[in-house]
Amino acid sequence: MKKILVPVDGSAESKKAVAQAVSIAKKFESEVSLFTVVEVENDVVMTEFGIAVSSEYAGVRDTLIKIKTESSEKMLDAIVASLDCTGVTVKKLIKVGSAHPEIAEEAANGKYDLIVMGHRGLNPVKRFFMGSVAKRVIEDAPCSVLIVKE
């Protein structure tokens, strides 16, 4: 087991998944890739006043992507800083898109041996309407998936 993918959204369970992945990596001398997805709706964006506008209007979508990407970088840096990653190579990857398909694509393209992820993420509304990301990743993953519960 040489490559471990860890989808991270900042939730307590995803942070526990990172800790578990680092622990596994130390035992198997694996590389850990922390992976987060910046999700921005393509069609409509709500302004601070609750007004729906085209996401292409005045570069709103690009600005949101930039802000969310910077925030994601800080989140990943903070998670890595909070753990003892001595002896483990940790990579940080950020993609723009939708969580489930991006995770599945990265797992396949990156030829990972294991995905370690939290059982539940930050967004209970999406989970209610679309099902959990973890469940969908398990169904489509090209490798084994370890689910970490809080």
Q: What is the pLDDT of residues 22-78, one digit of tens each?
A: 999 999 999 999 999 998 766 555 555 555 555 555 477 788 889 999 999 999 999
Q: Which domains does the chain show, CATH number per domain? A: 3-39+70-148 (3.40.50.620)
Three-state DSSP at 9 gives coil
CA 70-74-79 angle, to 5 degrees, is 150
Rounded Cα gap, residues 34 and 9, in angstroms: 10
The confidence score (pLDDT) of residue 74 equals: 96
CB of 145 within 8 A of CB of 108? no
Instruction: Calculate what percentage of the chain has a pLDDT beyond 90.
Output: 57
Beta strands in the chain (DSSP E): 3-7, 31-38, 44-46, 52-54, 89-96, 114-118, 144-148
The pTM for the full model equals: 0.83
